Amino acid sequence: MNIGILGSGIVAKTIAGKLDSLGHAVKLGTRDVQATLARSEPDMAGGPPLRTWLETHPRVTLVTHDEAAAHGELVINALSGQGAIPGLRSVARRLAGKILIDVSNPLDFSNGFPPSLTVANTDSLGEQIQRELPDTRVVKTLNTVNAFLMIEPAQLAGGDHTMLVCGNDAAAKAQVTRLLKEGFGWKDVVDAGDITNARGTEMYVVLWARLFGALNTPMFNIKLVR
């Protein structure tokens, strides 16, 4: 299917590479295509700059946010926490009626690592996005793990751990759950409820960041034992 991914960072390209390998037609959206292609430094995980990555993924194209959002029957928000609302607002009319998978977190690194959140406790970025896009079916998921685990959970303990989804539209959650299971290989996907539960999964990320510090690896996740 046609999938648009908003963002050009590690999460965006990791998901793009996986969806491309699954046979989907993927377009990555960025604010300024030429500026993004001009970047020559490695990404934050030491991977190649996007222009090099695109050479090894010739079916994936880098376009504007607007083109990526228009292209996608399904759209994924992989923008930064700060970039999410302005980026999505600029393409709101392209997203009407569509499913938007929101993988972003409202991380605040202004005091360094570990981060706090820019919104928490009585609201969440997922809810802000749903309010900004009332005609879009927002499904929050994947924001609780490292990019590499998002698309290949079997890398850790054979996939014996849990992914949460939340959102207001049951059919949208069911479709995203199928993608997570059949596309990415998640074995245990739990519906955590409506979009207000984004508060829970985003606030968990504060614990995640601190466990990352304690465990000294980002390759971990929680299994919901019940």
The nearest distance, CB 45 to a copy of itself, in angstroms, is 18
Q: Is the peptide bond before 218 cis (omega within 30 degrees of 0)?
A: no
| Most distant pair of Cα atoms in the chain: their distance | 49
What's the one-letter identity of residue 136?
Answer: T
Going by C-alpha positions, the residue among 132, 66, 77, 123 that lies closest to residue 99 is 77
Nearer to a copy of itself, 35 or 190 (CB): 190
The nearest distance, CB 157 to a copy of itself, in angstroms, is 5
Nearer to a copy of itself, 34 or 122 (CB): 122
Nearer to a copy of itself, 35 or 171 (CB): 171
**SS3 assignment, position 146:** coil
> Which residues, at least 6 apart from 169, have a Cβ–Cβ distance to it below 8 Å?
99, 137, 139
- Tell me how far apart the alpha carbons of residues 217 and 156 are, in angstroms, rounded to a whole number: 12
The nearest distance, CB 8 to a copy of itself, in angstroms, is 28
The nearest distance, CB 130 to a copy of itself, in angstroms, is 16
The binding site for a copy of itself (CB under 8 A) comprises 116-117, 120-122, 156-157, 160-161, 190-193, 196-197, 199-201, 203-204, 206-211, 213-215, 217, 219-226
